[in-house]
Amino acid sequence: MELPIKSSSKSEIRAVIRFLFAEKVPTTQIHRRLVAVYGDNVISIQAIRKWCQEFKAGRESIEDEHRAGRPIEVHTEENRRRVEKVILSDRRVTISEVEAATGLARCQIHQFIHELGFRKICAR
C-alpha cells in the first residue's frame, strides 16, 4: 500500500497535532493516524505528547521559538564573492587570514574554496 502523503514539514505535522488535540483525540491515536498517513518516519509519540502539553498550556504557534545560540551562517553568493576577493588579492593568504577578513566559519570557507576551484591557497 502506498502512503497518501510521502513528505511533510514540521509545521504541517504540528498543525495536524494541534487540530486533533483540539478535537480531544488521545495522543496514542494521534500517533497512529500520523503513521497511517505519513509513514513510520513521522514524529515520535513522546514528541506528540510534548506538543499536546504545549497546546494545553496555551501555546498558539506551531513554529519553533527563537533560541539563543550561534546563528546559522547563510551560504550566499555575497559571502562567496568576499572569500574569492580576499584570495585573489593575495594568493599566499591562509585560511585563518581569510577567516579573520570575512568573519565566516572555517568550514564554510573550505566549502567556498572547493566550489571556486582552488586546490590550496597557501602551503606555509
Q: What is the mean pLDDT of each run of 10 residues along the chain (124 residues)?
A: 72 93 95 90 92 93 79 74 90 88 88 83 60
Tell me the fold of 10-56.
Arc Repressor Mutant, subunit A (1.10.10)
The residue extents of the domains of the chain are 10-56, 77-116
What's the predicted TM-score (pTM) here?
Answer: 0.54
End-to-end CA distance of the chain: 60
Q: How many alpha carbons lie under 13 Å from residue 12 in its C-beta half-sphere?
A: 9
